[in-house]
Chain A
Amino acid sequence: MVVNTTHDTIKTDPILNVQSIDVAYGSVRVLHEVSLQVFAGELVSICGINGAGKSTTLKTIAGVLKPQSGQIVFRGQDITGKNAEKTHRLGIALVPEGREIFPSLTVAENLRIGAFGRYDAKRYAQDLEDIFELFPILKERYNQAGGLLSGGEQQMLAIARALVSRPDLLMMDEPSLGLAPAMVDLIFELIETLKNRGITILLVEQNAERALKIADRAYLLSTGYIKFAGRPEDMSETIDITSVYLGDGEGGF
Protein backbone atom coordinates (compact mmCIF):
# COMPACT_ATOMS: atom_id res chain seq x y z
CA MET A 1 0.00 0.00 0.00
CA VAL A 2 1.21 3.48 -0.80
CA VAL A 3 2.44 5.41 2.22
CA ASN A 4 0.22 8.36 2.71
CA THR A 5 2.16 11.56 2.38
CA THR A 6 0.84 14.56 4.24
CA HIS A 7 -1.45 16.62 2.17
CA ASP A 8 0.46 19.84 2.08
CA THR A 9 0.14 20.06 -1.68
CA ILE A 10 -1.04 23.43 -2.92
CA LYS A 11 -4.66 23.64 -2.00
CA THR A 12 -6.60 25.26 -4.75
CA ASP A 13 -10.36 25.65 -4.62
CA PRO A 14 -12.13 22.96 -2.64
CA ILE A 15 -14.02 20.39 -4.70
CA LEU A 16 -16.88 20.76 -2.21
CA ASN A 17 -17.58 23.98 -0.39
CA VAL A 18 -20.47 24.04 2.05
CA GLN A 19 -21.04 27.57 3.25
CA SER A 20 -23.08 28.25 6.33
CA ILE A 21 -26.09 26.04 5.66
CA ASP A 22 -29.16 25.94 7.87
CA VAL A 23 -31.35 22.87 7.58
CA ALA A 24 -34.64 22.12 9.33
CA TYR A 25 -37.17 19.33 9.47
CA GLY A 26 -40.44 21.23 9.51
CA SER A 27 -39.92 23.93 12.11
CA VAL A 28 -37.14 22.11 13.94
CA ARG A 29 -33.78 23.40 12.83
CA VAL A 30 -31.09 20.73 13.09
CA LEU A 31 -28.14 22.33 11.26
CA HIS A 32 -26.90 25.81 12.21
CA GLU A 33 -24.57 27.62 9.83
CA VAL A 34 -22.63 24.49 9.02
CA SER A 35 -19.61 25.13 6.81
CA LEU A 36 -17.15 22.58 5.56
CA GLN A 37 -14.72 22.07 2.71
CA VAL A 38 -13.37 19.02 0.97
CA PHE A 39 -10.38 19.28 -1.34
CA ALA A 40 -9.66 16.91 -4.20
CA GLY A 41 -8.06 13.67 -3.05
CA GLU A 42 -8.79 14.31 0.61
CA LEU A 43 -10.43 12.03 3.14
CA VAL A 44 -12.47 14.24 5.41
CA SER A 45 -14.27 12.84 8.40
CA ILE A 46 -17.31 14.22 10.19
CA CYS A 47 -17.70 13.00 13.75
CA GLY A 48 -20.41 13.59 16.28
CA ILE A 49 -22.82 11.79 18.54
CA ASN A 50 -26.25 10.44 17.65
CA GLY A 51 -28.52 13.13 16.40
CA ALA A 52 -25.73 15.66 15.88
CA GLY A 53 -26.80 16.20 12.28
CA LYS A 54 -24.21 14.17 10.39
CA SER A 55 -26.67 12.35 8.15
CA THR A 56 -28.61 15.56 7.66
CA THR A 57 -25.42 17.23 6.43
CA LEU A 58 -24.69 14.48 3.89
CA LYS A 59 -28.31 14.33 2.74
CA THR A 60 -28.33 18.07 2.18
CA ILE A 61 -25.13 17.94 0.13
CA ALA A 62 -26.61 15.05 -1.89
CA GLY A 63 -29.79 17.02 -2.51
CA VAL A 64 -32.22 14.85 -0.58
CA LEU A 65 -32.86 17.81 1.73
CA LYS A 66 -32.82 21.49 0.87
CA PRO A 67 -31.08 24.04 3.07
CA GLN A 68 -33.08 27.04 4.26
CA SER A 69 -30.09 29.25 3.76
CA GLY A 70 -26.45 29.00 2.86
CA GLN A 71 -24.77 27.73 -0.23
CA ILE A 72 -23.25 24.50 -1.49
CA VAL A 73 -20.69 24.72 -4.27
CA PHE A 74 -19.39 21.59 -5.96
CA ARG A 75 -16.53 21.84 -8.44
CA GLY A 76 -17.20 25.49 -8.91
CA GLN A 77 -20.91 25.03 -9.54
CA ASP A 78 -23.67 26.17 -7.20
CA ILE A 79 -25.66 23.03 -6.38
CA THR A 80 -27.72 24.47 -3.52
CA GLY A 81 -31.23 23.03 -3.72
CA LYS A 82 -30.46 20.76 -6.67
CA ASN A 83 -32.19 17.40 -6.23
CA ALA A 84 -30.47 14.08 -5.64
CA GLU A 85 -30.65 12.88 -9.24
CA LYS A 86 -28.87 16.06 -10.39
CA THR A 87 -26.10 16.00 -7.79
CA HIS A 88 -25.47 12.36 -8.68
CA ARG A 89 -25.08 13.26 -12.31
CA LEU A 90 -22.64 15.98 -11.34
CA GLY A 91 -20.48 13.42 -9.55
CA ILE A 92 -21.62 13.13 -5.94
CA ALA A 93 -22.39 9.61 -4.70
CA LEU A 94 -23.77 8.81 -1.26
CA VAL A 95 -23.49 5.48 0.50
CA PRO A 96 -26.54 6.00 2.69
CA GLU A 97 -26.82 5.21 6.36
CA GLY A 98 -28.31 1.75 6.78
CA ARG A 99 -27.04 0.75 3.32
CA GLU A 100 -30.47 1.00 1.65
CA ILE A 101 -29.91 -1.90 -0.73
CA PHE A 102 -32.81 -2.65 -3.07
CA PRO A 103 -33.73 -5.94 -1.39
CA SER A 104 -35.48 -7.84 -4.15
CA LEU A 105 -33.10 -6.67 -6.87
CA THR A 106 -30.06 -8.81 -7.54
CA VAL A 107 -26.54 -7.61 -6.85
CA ALA A 108 -26.18 -7.11 -10.60
CA GLU A 109 -29.31 -4.96 -10.73
CA ASN A 110 -28.33 -2.95 -7.67
CA LEU A 111 -25.03 -2.13 -9.34
CA ARG A 112 -26.74 -1.30 -12.60
CA ILE A 113 -28.92 1.27 -10.88
CA GLY A 114 -25.84 2.66 -9.18
CA ALA A 115 -24.49 3.62 -12.56
CA PHE A 116 -27.83 4.93 -13.80
CA GLY A 117 -27.19 8.62 -14.08
CA ARG A 118 -23.69 8.21 -15.47
CA TYR A 119 -24.00 4.94 -17.38
CA ASP A 120 -21.57 4.23 -20.18
CA ALA A 121 -21.62 0.64 -21.42
CA LYS A 122 -17.94 0.32 -22.25
CA ARG A 123 -16.74 1.93 -19.07
CA TYR A 124 -19.25 -0.03 -17.01
CA ALA A 125 -17.91 -3.45 -18.01
CA GLN A 126 -14.45 -2.25 -17.05
CA ASP A 127 -15.67 -0.82 -13.76
CA LEU A 128 -17.38 -4.11 -12.90
CA GLU A 129 -14.09 -5.96 -13.25
CA ASP A 130 -12.57 -3.44 -10.93
CA ILE A 131 -15.42 -3.78 -8.44
CA PHE A 132 -15.04 -7.57 -8.45
CA GLU A 133 -11.38 -7.18 -7.67
CA LEU A 134 -12.16 -4.95 -4.71
CA PHE A 135 -15.14 -7.06 -3.60
CA PRO A 136 -14.74 -10.67 -4.79
CA ILE A 137 -17.81 -11.67 -2.78
CA LEU A 138 -20.02 -9.54 -5.03
CA LYS A 139 -18.96 -11.59 -8.03
CA GLU A 140 -19.95 -14.74 -6.20
CA ARG A 141 -23.30 -13.28 -5.24
CA TYR A 142 -23.83 -11.45 -8.51
CA ASN A 143 -27.23 -12.96 -9.27
CA GLN A 144 -28.54 -13.15 -5.72
CA ALA A 145 -31.13 -10.79 -4.30
CA GLY A 146 -29.54 -7.93 -2.35
CA GLY A 147 -31.83 -8.61 0.59
CA LEU A 148 -30.28 -12.05 1.05
CA LEU A 149 -26.75 -10.73 1.61
CA SER A 150 -25.25 -10.41 5.09
CA GLY A 151 -24.88 -6.95 6.60
CA GLY A 152 -21.24 -6.69 5.63
CA GLU A 153 -21.90 -7.88 2.11
CA GLN A 154 -24.70 -5.36 1.80
CA GLN A 155 -22.34 -2.62 2.92
CA MET A 156 -19.85 -3.67 0.25
CA LEU A 157 -22.64 -3.64 -2.29
CA ALA A 158 -23.69 -0.18 -1.15
CA ILE A 159 -20.13 1.09 -1.56
CA ALA A 160 -19.71 -0.67 -4.91
CA ARG A 161 -23.04 0.75 -6.07
CA ALA A 162 -21.71 4.22 -5.34
CA LEU A 163 -18.35 3.52 -6.98
CA VAL A 164 -19.74 2.34 -10.33
CA SER A 165 -20.87 5.88 -11.01
CA ARG A 166 -17.22 6.94 -10.80
CA PRO A 167 -18.01 9.72 -8.37
CA ASP A 168 -15.82 12.76 -7.96
CA LEU A 169 -16.93 12.84 -4.35
CA LEU A 170 -17.79 9.70 -2.41
CA MET A 171 -19.81 10.30 0.75
CA MET A 172 -20.22 7.46 3.23
CA ASP A 173 -22.66 7.55 6.13
CA GLU A 174 -21.54 5.24 8.93
CA PRO A 175 -20.32 2.39 6.74
CA SER A 176 -19.16 0.32 9.74
CA LEU A 177 -22.40 0.60 11.67
CA GLY A 178 -23.73 -2.68 12.99
CA LEU A 179 -21.02 -4.83 11.45
CA ALA A 180 -18.96 -7.59 13.08
CA PRO A 181 -15.45 -6.47 14.16
CA ALA A 182 -13.71 -8.39 11.37
CA MET A 183 -15.99 -6.76 8.84
CA VAL A 184 -15.36 -3.32 10.36
CA ASP A 185 -11.63 -3.88 9.81
CA LEU A 186 -12.30 -4.85 6.24
CA ILE A 187 -14.41 -1.77 5.56
CA PHE A 188 -11.79 0.58 7.02
CA GLU A 189 -9.08 -1.12 4.99
CA LEU A 190 -11.22 -0.62 1.96
CA ILE A 191 -11.75 3.06 2.69
CA GLU A 192 -7.98 3.46 2.90
CA THR A 193 -7.54 1.64 -0.39
CA LEU A 194 -10.04 3.98 -2.02
CA LYS A 195 -8.31 6.98 -0.51
CA ASN A 196 -4.95 5.78 -1.81
CA ARG A 197 -6.47 5.52 -5.24
CA GLY A 198 -7.08 9.22 -5.05
CA ILE A 199 -10.83 9.13 -4.51
CA THR A 200 -12.14 12.13 -2.62
CA ILE A 201 -14.07 10.92 0.39
CA LEU A 202 -16.36 12.53 2.95
CA LEU A 203 -16.79 10.02 5.74
CA VAL A 204 -19.28 10.10 8.59
CA GLU A 205 -18.44 7.68 11.36
CA GLN A 206 -19.53 6.92 14.90
CA ASN A 207 -16.31 4.98 15.21
CA ALA A 208 -14.36 8.24 15.56
CA GLU A 209 -11.13 6.67 16.69
CA ARG A 210 -10.82 4.59 13.52
CA ALA A 211 -12.07 7.35 11.28
CA LEU A 212 -9.66 9.92 12.69
CA LYS A 213 -6.75 7.56 12.14
CA ILE A 214 -7.26 7.53 8.38
CA ALA A 215 -8.67 11.03 7.86
CA ASP A 216 -6.67 13.96 6.47
CA ARG A 217 -8.95 16.46 8.15
CA ALA A 218 -11.90 16.25 10.48
CA TYR A 219 -14.96 18.13 11.62
CA LEU A 220 -16.86 17.70 14.84
CA LEU A 221 -20.58 18.29 14.69
CA SER A 222 -22.47 18.78 17.90
CA THR A 223 -26.21 19.48 18.04
CA GLY A 224 -26.06 20.95 14.60
CA TYR A 225 -23.05 23.22 15.09
CA ILE A 226 -19.53 22.68 13.79
CA LYS A 227 -17.51 22.61 17.01
CA PHE A 228 -14.15 21.72 15.57
CA ALA A 229 -12.46 21.78 12.21
CA GLY A 230 -8.88 20.80 11.62
CA ARG A 231 -6.32 18.05 11.80
CA PRO A 232 -7.56 14.77 13.27
CA GLU A 233 -4.76 14.57 15.80
CA ASP A 234 -5.61 18.06 17.07
CA MET A 235 -9.20 17.03 17.41
CA SER A 236 -8.25 14.03 19.50
CA GLU A 237 -6.15 16.34 21.66
CA THR A 238 -8.52 19.22 22.18
CA ILE A 239 -11.60 17.13 22.63
CA ASP A 240 -12.05 14.13 24.79
CA ILE A 241 -13.60 11.87 22.16
CA THR A 242 -14.87 9.33 24.63
CA SER A 243 -16.84 11.92 26.52
CA VAL A 244 -18.38 13.08 23.25
CA TYR A 245 -19.41 9.57 22.50
CA LEU A 246 -20.73 8.85 25.94
CA GLY A 247 -23.26 11.52 25.11
CA ASP A 248 -22.33 14.47 27.27
CA GLY A 249 -24.17 16.54 24.71
CA GLU A 250 -21.79 19.39 24.02
CA GLY A 251 -19.06 16.90 24.59
CA GLY A 252 -15.69 17.61 26.09
CA PHE A 253 -15.66 21.38 25.97
Chain B
Amino acid sequence: MNLQILTEFTINTISMGSLYALIALGLVFVFGICQLVNFAYGEFFAVSAYTLYFLGTFTSLPWFMVFLLGIFAGVAIAFLCEVVAFRPFRDRSMDALLVTSFAVSVIAQRVYQLSISPRPKAVPIPDFMNRTVTIFGIGTPLRNPLIIATTAVLLIALTLLMKKTTLGIAMRGASENFTTARLMGVPANLVILAAFIISGLLAGVVAIFLSARTGSVEPMAGAGPLLIGFIAVVIGGMHSLPGSVVGGFVYAGISNVLSLTLPTTMLSFRDAIMFAIVIAFLVIKPEGMIRGNYHEERVG
Protein backbone atom coordinates (compact mmCIF):
# COMPACT_ATOMS: atom_id res chain seq x y z
CA MET B 1 0.00 0.00 0.00
CA ASN B 2 2.68 2.46 1.05
CA LEU B 3 4.84 1.35 -1.81
CA GLN B 4 1.93 1.97 -4.11
CA ILE B 5 1.50 5.52 -2.86
CA LEU B 6 5.21 6.08 -3.26
CA THR B 7 5.18 4.74 -6.81
CA GLU B 8 2.21 6.89 -7.70
CA PHE B 9 3.84 9.92 -6.13
CA THR B 10 7.03 9.28 -8.06
CA ILE B 11 5.31 8.89 -11.41
CA ASN B 12 3.21 11.99 -10.84
CA THR B 13 6.12 14.06 -9.66
CA ILE B 14 8.41 13.06 -12.50
CA SER B 15 5.79 13.65 -15.17
CA MET B 16 4.61 16.93 -13.67
CA GLY B 17 8.22 17.90 -13.02
CA SER B 18 9.09 17.17 -16.66
CA LEU B 19 6.37 19.52 -17.82
CA TYR B 20 7.40 22.22 -15.35
CA ALA B 21 11.05 21.79 -16.26
CA LEU B 22 10.32 22.39 -19.95
CA ILE B 23 8.22 25.44 -19.08
CA ALA B 24 10.94 26.92 -16.88
CA LEU B 25 13.62 26.12 -19.42
CA GLY B 26 11.84 28.12 -22.12
CA LEU B 27 11.71 31.14 -19.83
CA VAL B 28 15.36 30.89 -18.81
CA PHE B 29 16.65 30.43 -22.35
CA VAL B 30 15.43 33.90 -23.24
CA PHE B 31 16.27 35.45 -19.89
CA GLY B 32 19.77 34.01 -19.96
CA ILE B 33 20.61 35.64 -23.26
CA CYS B 34 18.82 38.97 -23.10
CA GLN B 35 18.01 39.38 -19.38
CA LEU B 36 14.39 39.80 -20.40
CA VAL B 37 11.64 38.45 -18.19
CA ASN B 38 9.38 37.57 -21.06
CA PHE B 39 5.76 38.05 -20.02
CA ALA B 40 4.70 37.18 -23.55
CA TYR B 41 5.97 33.64 -22.96
CA GLY B 42 2.50 32.49 -21.89
CA GLU B 43 1.17 33.46 -25.31
CA PHE B 44 3.53 30.99 -26.99
CA PHE B 45 1.51 28.25 -25.23
CA ALA B 46 -1.82 29.87 -25.95
CA VAL B 47 -1.08 30.27 -29.67
CA SER B 48 0.11 26.68 -29.82
CA ALA B 49 -2.96 25.41 -28.01
CA TYR B 50 -5.33 27.42 -30.20
CA THR B 51 -3.57 25.97 -33.24
CA LEU B 52 -4.20 22.48 -31.86
CA TYR B 53 -7.83 23.45 -31.38
CA PHE B 54 -8.22 24.81 -34.91
CA LEU B 55 -6.45 22.03 -36.73
CA GLY B 56 -8.04 19.33 -34.57
CA THR B 57 -11.54 20.77 -34.98
CA PHE B 58 -11.65 22.03 -38.56
CA THR B 59 -9.27 19.77 -40.43
CA SER B 60 -8.86 16.03 -40.72
CA LEU B 61 -5.11 16.09 -40.47
CA PRO B 62 -3.62 13.09 -38.65
CA TRP B 63 -2.76 13.76 -35.01
CA PHE B 64 1.01 13.85 -35.50
CA MET B 65 0.61 16.54 -38.16
CA VAL B 66 -1.59 18.52 -35.79
CA PHE B 67 1.01 18.17 -33.07
CA LEU B 68 3.86 19.17 -35.35
CA LEU B 69 1.99 22.21 -36.65
CA GLY B 70 1.03 23.12 -33.08
CA ILE B 71 4.69 23.10 -32.09
CA PHE B 72 5.53 25.01 -35.26
CA ALA B 73 2.97 27.66 -34.29
CA GLY B 74 4.76 28.10 -30.96
CA VAL B 75 8.07 28.54 -32.76
CA ALA B 76 6.55 30.92 -35.30
CA ILE B 77 4.95 33.18 -32.69
CA ALA B 78 8.20 33.27 -30.69
CA PHE B 79 10.10 34.18 -33.86
CA LEU B 80 7.63 36.93 -34.71
CA CYS B 81 7.66 38.25 -31.17
CA GLU B 82 11.42 38.64 -31.23
CA VAL B 83 11.69 40.17 -34.68
CA VAL B 84 8.64 42.44 -34.61
CA ALA B 85 8.10 43.31 -30.95
CA PHE B 86 11.46 43.07 -29.21
CA ARG B 87 14.20 43.69 -31.75
CA PRO B 88 13.19 47.31 -32.47
CA PHE B 89 13.30 48.13 -28.75
CA ARG B 90 16.36 46.17 -27.80
CA ASP B 91 18.66 49.17 -27.66
CA ARG B 92 16.22 51.03 -25.40
CA SER B 93 15.92 50.48 -21.67
CA MET B 94 15.15 47.13 -20.12
CA ASP B 95 11.87 48.61 -18.86
CA ALA B 96 10.80 49.27 -22.44
CA LEU B 97 11.29 45.59 -23.25
CA LEU B 98 9.42 44.50 -20.15
CA VAL B 99 6.48 46.73 -21.02
CA THR B 100 6.61 45.45 -24.59
CA SER B 101 6.37 41.87 -23.39
CA PHE B 102 3.35 42.81 -21.25
CA ALA B 103 1.76 44.58 -24.17
CA VAL B 104 2.25 41.63 -26.50
CA SER B 105 0.61 39.38 -23.94
CA VAL B 106 -2.41 41.64 -23.37
CA ILE B 107 -2.92 42.29 -27.07
CA ALA B 108 -2.73 38.58 -27.86
CA GLN B 109 -5.31 37.79 -25.18
CA ARG B 110 -7.70 40.41 -26.59
CA VAL B 111 -7.22 38.97 -30.05
CA TYR B 112 -8.25 35.46 -28.94
CA GLN B 113 -11.20 36.92 -27.04
CA LEU B 114 -12.52 38.94 -29.94
CA SER B 115 -11.66 36.74 -32.87
CA ILE B 116 -12.18 33.29 -31.35
CA SER B 117 -14.18 33.33 -28.16
CA PRO B 118 -13.91 34.58 -24.60
CA ARG B 119 -14.97 31.12 -23.43
CA PRO B 120 -12.95 27.89 -23.36
CA LYS B 121 -12.76 25.83 -26.54
CA ALA B 122 -12.37 22.07 -26.46
CA VAL B 123 -9.04 20.90 -27.87
CA PRO B 124 -9.42 17.53 -29.58
CA ILE B 125 -6.63 15.30 -28.36
CA PRO B 126 -6.14 11.76 -29.68
CA ASP B 127 -7.55 9.17 -27.27
CA PHE B 128 -4.29 7.30 -26.83
CA MET B 129 -2.80 10.22 -24.91
CA ASN B 130 -5.25 9.73 -22.07
CA ARG B 131 -5.52 5.94 -22.20
CA THR B 132 -4.58 4.37 -18.89
CA VAL B 133 -1.42 2.32 -18.84
CA THR B 134 -0.02 0.35 -15.93
CA ILE B 135 3.48 1.13 -14.72
CA PHE B 136 4.84 -0.75 -11.69
CA GLY B 137 1.28 -1.70 -10.86
CA ILE B 138 0.01 1.87 -10.99
CA GLY B 139 -2.54 3.03 -13.53
CA THR B 140 -1.66 6.36 -15.14
CA PRO B 141 -2.64 8.14 -18.36
CA LEU B 142 -0.22 7.42 -21.21
CA ARG B 143 0.56 11.14 -21.52
CA ASN B 144 2.55 10.88 -18.28
CA PRO B 145 5.18 8.40 -19.47
CA LEU B 146 5.08 10.23 -22.81
CA ILE B 147 5.99 13.60 -21.32
CA ILE B 148 8.77 11.97 -19.33
CA ALA B 149 10.22 10.38 -22.47
CA THR B 150 9.74 13.56 -24.51
CA THR B 151 11.44 15.64 -21.85
CA ALA B 152 14.36 13.23 -21.67
CA VAL B 153 14.83 13.43 -25.44
CA LEU B 154 14.55 17.23 -25.45
CA LEU B 155 16.97 17.66 -22.57
CA ILE B 156 19.53 15.42 -24.25
CA ALA B 157 19.09 17.22 -27.57
CA LEU B 158 19.38 20.66 -25.96
CA THR B 159 22.43 19.58 -23.96
CA LEU B 160 24.11 18.41 -27.16
CA LEU B 161 23.16 21.66 -28.88
CA MET B 162 24.55 23.80 -26.08
CA LYS B 163 27.72 21.76 -25.53
CA LYS B 164 28.69 20.53 -28.96
CA THR B 165 27.60 23.03 -31.57
CA THR B 166 29.23 26.35 -32.28
CA LEU B 167 25.85 28.08 -32.02
CA GLY B 168 25.18 26.52 -28.60
CA ILE B 169 28.61 27.40 -27.27
CA ALA B 170 28.16 30.94 -28.56
CA MET B 171 24.76 31.14 -26.84
CA ARG B 172 26.29 30.06 -23.54
CA GLY B 173 29.07 32.57 -24.01
CA ALA B 174 26.59 35.32 -24.83
CA SER B 175 24.54 34.53 -21.73
CA GLU B 176 27.65 34.99 -19.59
CA ASN B 177 29.02 38.05 -21.28
CA PHE B 178 27.08 39.43 -24.19
CA THR B 179 29.42 42.26 -25.14
CA THR B 180 32.47 40.03 -25.21
CA ALA B 181 30.65 37.43 -27.28
CA ARG B 182 29.87 40.11 -29.85
CA LEU B 183 33.50 41.16 -29.80
CA MET B 184 34.29 37.60 -30.89
CA GLY B 185 31.98 37.95 -33.84
CA VAL B 186 28.89 36.31 -32.34
CA PRO B 187 25.89 38.06 -33.92
CA ALA B 188 23.49 39.39 -31.30
CA ASN B 189 20.45 38.83 -33.51
CA LEU B 190 21.36 35.22 -34.17
CA VAL B 191 21.77 34.08 -30.58
CA ILE B 192 18.74 35.99 -29.36
CA LEU B 193 16.57 34.61 -32.15
CA ALA B 194 17.84 31.10 -31.42
CA ALA B 195 16.87 31.52 -27.77
CA PHE B 196 13.37 32.65 -28.73
CA ILE B 197 12.95 29.77 -31.17
CA ILE B 198 13.93 27.22 -28.53
CA SER B 199 11.59 28.95 -26.10
CA GLY B 200 8.74 28.68 -28.62
CA LEU B 201 9.56 25.05 -29.38
CA LEU B 202 9.41 24.12 -25.70
CA ALA B 203 6.15 26.03 -25.29
CA GLY B 204 4.69 24.18 -28.27
CA VAL B 205 5.58 20.78 -26.81
CA VAL B 206 4.22 21.75 -23.41
CA ALA B 207 0.99 23.05 -25.00
CA ILE B 208 0.24 19.57 -26.33
CA PHE B 209 0.55 17.94 -22.92
CA LEU B 210 -1.22 20.73 -21.04
CA SER B 211 -4.11 20.62 -23.52
CA ALA B 212 -4.28 16.85 -23.10
CA ARG B 213 -4.63 17.37 -19.36
CA THR B 214 -7.14 20.22 -19.36
CA GLY B 215 -8.86 19.33 -22.65
CA SER B 216 -9.49 22.96 -23.52
CA VAL B 217 -8.00 26.34 -24.32
CA GLU B 218 -9.21 29.81 -23.36
CA PRO B 219 -7.80 33.34 -23.77
CA MET B 220 -5.98 33.25 -20.43
CA ALA B 221 -4.51 29.80 -21.10
CA GLY B 222 -0.98 31.21 -21.10
CA ALA B 223 -1.19 32.60 -17.57
CA GLY B 224 -0.94 29.20 -15.88
CA PRO B 225 2.28 28.04 -17.53
CA LEU B 226 3.79 31.52 -17.18
CA LEU B 227 3.24 31.39 -13.42
CA ILE B 228 4.57 27.83 -13.23
CA GLY B 229 7.65 28.98 -15.10
CA PHE B 230 8.23 31.89 -12.72
CA ILE B 231 7.90 29.74 -9.61
CA ALA B 232 10.17 27.01 -10.96
CA VAL B 233 12.74 29.61 -11.96
CA VAL B 234 12.67 31.32 -8.57
CA ILE B 235 13.32 27.94 -6.96
CA GLY B 236 15.93 26.72 -9.39
CA GLY B 237 17.71 29.90 -10.38
CA MET B 238 17.25 32.43 -13.15
CA HIS B 239 20.78 32.25 -14.46
CA SER B 240 21.28 28.59 -15.13
CA LEU B 241 19.65 26.23 -17.60
CA PRO B 242 20.16 23.14 -15.41
CA GLY B 243 18.88 25.24 -12.49
CA SER B 244 15.56 25.83 -14.22
CA VAL B 245 15.16 22.10 -14.86
CA VAL B 246 15.93 21.32 -11.22
CA GLY B 247 13.50 24.06 -10.19
CA GLY B 248 10.74 22.50 -12.29
CA PHE B 249 11.18 19.10 -10.64
CA VAL B 250 11.50 20.52 -7.12
CA TYR B 251 8.38 22.62 -7.63
CA ALA B 252 6.44 19.56 -8.78
CA GLY B 253 7.80 17.60 -5.81
CA ILE B 254 6.81 20.20 -3.23
CA SER B 255 3.42 20.65 -4.82
CA ASN B 256 2.76 16.90 -4.79
CA VAL B 257 4.00 16.48 -1.24
CA LEU B 258 1.59 19.21 -0.16
CA SER B 259 -1.31 17.56 -1.99
CA LEU B 260 -0.47 14.28 -0.37
CA THR B 261 0.15 15.42 3.20
CA LEU B 262 -2.24 18.31 3.72
CA PRO B 263 -5.52 17.34 5.37
CA THR B 264 -8.46 17.75 3.00
CA THR B 265 -9.69 20.82 4.86
CA MET B 266 -6.34 22.50 4.24
CA LEU B 267 -6.04 21.57 0.61
CA SER B 268 -7.41 24.88 -0.59
CA PHE B 269 -4.39 26.49 1.06
CA ARG B 270 -1.99 24.52 -1.08
CA ASP B 271 -1.27 27.37 -3.47
CA ALA B 272 -0.93 29.82 -0.60
CA ILE B 273 1.62 27.56 1.04
CA MET B 274 3.40 27.17 -2.28
CA PHE B 275 3.67 30.94 -2.61
CA ALA B 276 4.96 31.21 0.95
CA ILE B 277 7.69 28.76 -0.03
CA VAL B 278 8.49 30.82 -3.11
CA ILE B 279 8.72 33.99 -1.01
CA ALA B 280 10.98 32.15 1.41
CA PHE B 281 13.20 31.24 -1.53
CA LEU B 282 13.32 34.86 -2.66
CA VAL B 283 14.34 35.96 0.83
CA ILE B 284 16.80 33.21 1.73
CA LYS B 285 18.20 32.21 -1.62
CA PRO B 286 17.31 34.89 -4.18
CA GLU B 287 19.71 33.41 -6.72
CA GLY B 288 17.88 30.06 -6.62
CA MET B 289 19.30 26.62 -6.00
CA ILE B 290 21.82 26.81 -8.83
CA ARG B 291 23.57 30.10 -9.17
CA GLY B 292 25.00 29.98 -12.65
CA ASN B 293 27.50 32.41 -14.11
CA TYR B 294 26.45 35.70 -15.46
CA HIS B 295 27.56 39.20 -15.85
CA GLU B 296 25.26 42.13 -15.18
CA GLU B 297 25.06 44.15 -18.36
CA ARG B 298 22.82 45.58 -20.96
CA VAL B 299 22.15 43.89 -24.23
CA GLY B 300 22.25 46.10 -27.28
CB distance B183 to A104 under 8 Å? no
Partner of A84, one of B169, B173, B182: B182
Q: What's the nearest-Cβ distance from chain A to residue B180, in Å?
A: 4
Interface membership of B172, Cβ < 8 A: yes
CB distance B179 to A113 under 8 Å? no
Question: Considering residues A102, A103, A104, A105, which has the most beta carbons from chain B within 10 angstroms of its beta carbon?
Answer: A102
Question: Considering residues A64, A89, A119, which has the most beta carbons from chain B within 10 angstroms of its beta carbon?
Answer: A64
Interface size band for B: 10 to 19
- Residue on A nearest B181 in the bound complex, by CB: A113
CB distance A104 to B293 under 8 Å? yes
CB distance A103 to B186 under 8 Å? no
CB distance A85 to B186 under 8 Å? yes
A71-123, CB < 8 A from B: 83-85, 88-89, 93-94, 96, 100, 102-105, 109-110, 112-119
CB distance A100 to B186 under 8 Å? no
Contact residues of B: prevailing secondary structure = helix
CB distance A85 to B187 under 8 Å? yes
- Residue on A nearest B165 in the bound complex, by CB: A112
Partner of A88, one of B173, B184, B293: B184
The answer to whether residues A109 and B173 also contact, given A85-B185, A114-B184 and a CB cut-off of 8 A, is yes
B187 partner residues in chain A, CB cutoff 8 A:
85
CB distance B185 to A104 under 8 Å? no
A120-150, CB < 8 A from B: 147
CB distance A102 to B183 under 8 Å? no
CB distance B188 to A147 under 8 Å? no
The answer to whether residues A113 and B176 also contact, given A94-B183, A104-B293, A165-B185 and a CB cut-off of 8 A, is no
- Residue on A nearest B292 in the bound complex, by CB: A104
CB distance A83 to B176 under 8 Å? no
Interface membership of A62, Cβ < 8 A: yes
Interface membership of A54, Cβ < 8 A: no
Kindly list 6 other residue pairs between chains A and B, CB separation below 8 angstroms, not including A102-B173, A116-B170, A165-B185: A83-B188, A102-B180, A109-B169, A110-B173, A112-B166, A112-B169
Closest 5 CB pairs of A and B: A117-B185, A88-B185, A104-B293, A84-B182, A100-B180
A-B contact pairs, 9 of them (CB 8 A): A64-B179, A64-B183, A102-B180, A103-B176, A104-B176, A113-B169, A116-B166, A116-B181, A165-B185
